[in-house]
C-alpha cells in the first residue's frame, strides 16, 4: 500500500485518512462489488446512473460514491441534506450545467437524503430527467418511506450491509501495516485477541472501528520498545458497547419484528435474545411490555389463557421495580410465550368480526336479545322470547341465535387443537350437535 492511499494530515481522523481511492481498496459489500456483480460492472464500464445507497452508518456509502465519481472521471459535488436546501441544489445544478457544456458529467452526492422535504426532493426531478446531473443519495432510512415516489422511480436502490468482523479485522491489519505513515510510529503492536475484540465491538461500522483504534493508539501501554494494544486498553476506549438501534427507524421495526416472529415460532432463545438486544439498544421497556401483552392474545390466545395474565403481571412487575430489576419479568414473560401452545384463532375471529361490523353497518339487535326495562318496551316484545341459558339442560339454550339476522350463520372463532383450545373445540362441537338436534 502506498502513501497515496492516505490523506495524511495531523488532525484528520483516521477514518478519513484510510478512505480508499479505488474499488480494489474498498472493504466489504461484496454482494454488490464482487466480480460480475451489476454495480461492479457498471463502475468498470462507466455506466453511471442515479442511485441511492441505503445502509447503516460507517459501511462506505460516501466512500463508494467518491470512488465511482473518480473512476468515471465525473465532476463531484457533495451536499448534506442537514445543511443544504433548494438554494444549494440550484447552485449545484447550475455548476453541473457549466460542466455539461464541457462534456463532463456531474455526480451530485446528497448525504442523508431522507432529510430532504418533498419540495426539496421535487427540485431534483427536472435536472435528473434532463441529464444535467446524476444523483447519488445516501441514507440510513428506508427509501420506500422517506423518498417520494417520483424521485424513487428515477433511482436504483443499492442496499449496503454492516461490515463483517473479518472485513474490519483486515482493515485494522492494513492500518497497523502502515502505522509509520498513519501515526508516524513503527512500534505499535496489537494482540490477536484485542484485534478480534475491536473488530466485533465495532458492530459492522468501519468509521467507529478506526476511530476507536485511533484512541487506543493514544492509550496504548508502553512495554519495552513497543506500544501494546490489548483488550484492557480497548475496554477503556469502549467502556459500554451500544448496538445500532433507532427508536423510530427500520432497525427498530426489524428488531421488534424479529422478537414477535421468534415468539410465534416457539423459539425461546431467539425471543429472549431480541428482547435483550432492544433493551440494550435503548428501547422503551414499557413499549416492549405492551407488545408482549399483545403477543399473548394474538399468537397464544385461548390455547393458554395464562399467557395473558403472565404478561400483565410482568408489565406490573416492571412498573413497580423499574430498570434493570423489572426487565427480568419481561424476559420471563417472553420465554413463557415462546414455549406456550400457539393459536391465532382469537386474532382471526376479532378481525373477521370487525370486518363484518364495518361492512354491514348498524344491524338491529334481535328483538329477543333487547333490553326491556320499561312497560312500553315489554309491550313491544323486547326480550319476550329470550331463553335463560341457566334454566336449560347443560346450561345451554340449544337452537337459540344471538347474531343479527343477516349474520346469523357467521363463524368467526375456529379454535385450534392445541392447548386449552382443544377442549374448547370439543365443547363447541358438543353444543353444535345440540343445536342440530333442536332443529330436527
Predicted local confidence at residue 429, as pLDDT:
93
Is pLDDT of 225 > 80? Answer: no
Predicted local confidence at residue 182, as pLDDT:
73
Q: Which of 38-47, 240-249, 288-297, 400-409 has the highest mean pLDDT?
A: 288-297
Predicted local confidence at residue 372, as pLDDT:
87
Task: Render pLDDT for 148-180 as a digit per residue (tens, 0 to 9).
Answer: 889 998 999 999 988 888 889 988 888 888 877
Question: pTM for this structure?
Answer: 0.61
- In angstroms, the CA 417 to CA 420 distance is 8
Residue count of the chain: 440
Task: Render pLDDT for 82-115 as a digit per residue (tens, 0 to 9).
Answer: 888 888 889 999 998 998 888 899 999 999 898 8
Angle at 255 between CA 337 and CA 196, to 5 degrees: 115
Predicted local confidence at residue 243, as pLDDT:
54
Task: Render pLDDT for 299-330 as a digit per residue (tens, 0 to 9).
Answer: 999 999 999 999 999 999 998 998 888 999 99
Using DSSP, state whether 189 is helix, strand or coil: strand
Predicted local confidence at residue 7, as pLDDT:
44
- In angstroms, the CA 303 to CA 354 distance is 22
Give the closest residue to 137 by CA, choosing from 211, 193, 208, 55. 55
Grid cell locating 133: 446531473
Please report the domains of the chain, with CATH numbers, ordered by start residue: 29-159 (3.40.50.300), 165-238 (1.10.8.60), 250-339 (1.20.272.10), 361-439 (1.10.3710.10)
Averaged confidence pLDDT in the chain: 86
Amino acid at each position: 500500500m502506498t502513501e497515496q492511499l492516505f490523506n495524511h494530515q495531523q488532525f484528520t481522523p483516521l477514518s478519513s485518512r484510510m478512505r480508499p481511492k479505488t474499488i480494489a481498496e474498498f472493504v466489504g459489500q461484496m454482494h454488490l462489488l464482487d466480480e460480475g456483480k451489476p454495480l461492479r460492472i457498471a463502475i468498470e464500464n462507466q455506466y453511471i446512473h442515479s442511485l441511492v445507497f441505503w445502509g447503516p452508518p460507517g459501511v462506505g456509502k460516501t466512500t463508494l460514491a467518491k470512488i465511482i465519481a473518480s473512476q468515471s472521471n465525473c465532476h463531484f459535488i457533495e451536499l448534506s441534506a442537514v445543511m443544504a436546501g433548494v438554494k444549494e441544489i440550484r447552485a449545484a445544478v447550475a455548476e453541473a450545467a457549466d460542466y455539461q457544456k464541457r462534456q463532463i458529467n456531474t455526480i451530485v452526492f446528497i448525504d442523508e437524503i431522507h432529510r430532504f422535504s418533498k419540495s426539496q426532493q421535487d427540485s431534483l426531478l427536472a435536472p435528473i430527467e434532463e441529464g444535467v446531473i446524476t444523483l447519488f443519495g445516501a441514507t440510513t432510512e428506508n427509501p420506500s418511506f422517506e423518498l417520494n415516489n417520483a424521485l424513487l422511480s428515477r433511482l436504483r436502490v443499492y442496499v449496503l450491509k454492516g461490515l463483517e468482523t473479518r472485513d474490519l479485522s483486515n482493515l485494522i491489519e492494513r492500518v497497523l501495516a502502515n502505522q509509520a505513515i498513519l501515526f508516524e510510529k513503527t512500534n505499535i503492536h496489537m494482540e490477536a485477541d484485542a484485534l478480534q475484540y475491536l473488530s466485533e465491538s465495532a458492530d459492522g461500522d468501519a468509521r467507529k472501528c478506526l476511530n476507536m483504534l485511533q484512541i487506543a493508539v493514544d492509550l496504548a501501554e508502553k512495554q519495552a520498545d513497543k506500544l501494546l494494544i490489548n483488550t484492557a486498553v480497548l475496554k477503556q476506549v469502549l467502556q459500554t458497547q451500544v448496538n445500532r438501534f433507532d427508536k423510530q427507524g427500520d432497525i427498530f421495526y426489524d428488531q421488534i419484528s424479529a422478537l414477535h416472529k421468534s415468539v410465534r415460532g416457539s423459539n425461546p432463545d431467539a425471543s429472549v435474545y431480541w428482547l435483550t438486544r432492544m433493551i440494550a439498544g435503548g428501547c422503551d421497556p414499557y413499549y416492549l411490555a405492551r407488545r408482549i401483552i399483545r403477543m399473548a392474545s394474538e399468537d397464544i390466545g385461548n390455547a393458554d389463557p395464562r399467557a395473558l395474565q403472565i404478561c400483565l403481571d410482568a408489565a406490573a412487575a416492571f412498573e413497580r421495580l423499574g430498570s434493570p430489576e423489572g426487565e427480568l419479568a419481561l424476559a420471563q414473560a417472553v420465554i413463557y410465550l415462546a414455549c406456550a401452545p400457539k393459536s391465532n384463532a382469537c386474532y382471526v375471529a376479532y378481525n373477521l368480526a370487525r370486518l363484518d361490523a364495518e361492512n354491514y353497518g348498524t344491524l338491529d339487535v334481535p328483538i329477543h336479545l333487547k333490553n326491556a326495562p320499561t312497560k312500553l318496551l315489554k309491550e313491544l316484545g323486547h326480550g319476550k322470547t329470550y331463553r335463560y341459558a341457566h334454566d336449560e339442560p347443560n346450561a345451554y339454550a340449544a337452537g337459540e341465535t344471538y347474531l343479527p339476522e343477516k349474520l346469523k350463520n357467521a363463524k368467526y372463532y375456529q379454535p385450534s387443537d392445541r392447548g386449552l383450545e382443544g377442549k374448547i373445540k370439543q365443547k363447541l362441537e358438543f353444543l353444535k350437535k345440540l343445536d342440530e338436534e333442536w332443529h330436527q
